[in-house]
Amino acid sequence: MANPVFNNDKAFKNTYRGDASATGTLSPQPSAPSVPGFGDSSVMSYDGVLAKALGLFAFAVVAALGVGILAPFLAFPFLIGALVLMLVAVFRKGAPAPGLYIATIGLYGGAAGGISRFYEVEYNGIIMHALVATACLFAVTLAVYKSGRIRNVAKIRKFVAIALPAVIVLLIANLVMVLISGPQASVFEANLPGTNIPLGLILSLFLILLGAFMLIGDFDFVDTGVRNGLPKAYEWTAAFGLVFTTVWVYIQMLRLLSYLRGR
């Protein structure tokens, strides 16, 4: 995500200086590698981020299949656990914590698998539709970011740094209410006052938009980290952000499609 995780780390903050460039990324430090992303095994690289992101994504898929096939009833506990760990990651300070990132992705992937199972039973084919929609959003967001048309990445990062923790707290509270009082207690099940429009539909659209902003922040972190020669350990932070955000968008796509299909 546009990773509020990044905001609490001195090493990441020290990679920035001066004014934002046209794309919102900031000028590289003089110590950056001559060919960013290649040739130095001690600093962050594109290949390293990609390898770790693929590893975390594969772990999320395995967790999703395991929970979705064998124990879908664990979806809610796993989701609460993942969101709590995400809050820990957001507010902790210090060096990257691969163990925390792996645990969070494992729980979040498992939750996504269980949630997918519930939706697929009710809406045949919705998993594939959500996967395609998530892939399209990822590709379009990356293309727009790479085009240089996004000129206020710093403002996007600040927005996500405020909005994401607040949304996570809301989601945790909502899940606890559902576990205590049943599905009817969910804020997603209410209608907008005076209408028949599900509040969940509006919230899903907002959370998908937030996910797109999170992706922009993730792409910016990877570019800036590589250009400025951040320590190699930050590949874990970058990979974690990309994978967490991708799963986040997928879950919101499931919810949105369920409303569009008449939930």
Q: pLDDT class for 22, splitting at 50, 70, 90?
A: very low
The pTM assigned to this predicted structure is 0.85
Dist CA 28 CA 115 (whole Å): 42
Is residue 21 in a domain?
A: no
Is residue 103 in a domain?
A: yes
Is residue 33 in a domain?
A: no
Is residue 129 in a domain?
A: yes
Is residue 207 in a domain?
A: yes
Q: What is the mean pLDDT of the chain?
A: 86
Q: What is the mean pLDDT of residues 99-119?
A: 97
The torsion region of residue 18 among left (phi > 0), alpha (psi -120 to 50) and beta comes to left
Could you say which DSSP state residue 37 is in? Answer: T
The DSSP line for 55-106 is HHHHHHHHHHHHHHHH-GGGHHHHHHHHHHHHHHHHH--SS--HHHHHHHHH
| C-alpha distance from residue 88 to each of 103, 119, 175 (Å) | 12, 29, 18
Residue-wise pLDDT tens digits, 213-252: 999 999 999 999 999 999 999 999 999 999 999 999 999 9
Structure tokens at 104: 């969070």
Is residue 30's pLDDT more than 80? no
Block residue for tokens 């975390």 = 56
pLDDT at residue 17, rounded to an integer: 36
Q: pLDDT class for 195, splitting at 50, 70, 90?
A: confident
Is residue 120 in a domain?
A: yes
pLDDT: is 98 or 27 the higher one? 98
Burial class (CB in 10 A: 0-12, 13-18, 19+), 95: middle
Number of domains comprising the chain: 1
| C-alpha distance from residue 129 to each of 40, 62, 110, 244, 261 (Å) | 41, 20, 19, 19, 11
Smallest CA-to-CA distance from 103 within 111, 113, 91, 95 is with: 111
Domain that holds residue 205: 43-260
Q: pLDDT class for 114, splitting at 50, 70, 90?
A: very high
Is residue 118 in a domain?
A: yes
pLDDT at residue 2, rounded to an integer: 52
pLDDT at residue 196, rounded to an integer: 82
Q: What is the mean pLDDT of residues 184-192?
A: 85
Q: What is the mean pLDDT of residues 83-93?
A: 93
Is residue 185 in a domain?
A: yes
Is residue 210's pLDDT more than 90? yes
pLDDT at residue 149, rounded to an integer: 86
Dist CA 102 CA 110 (whole Å): 12
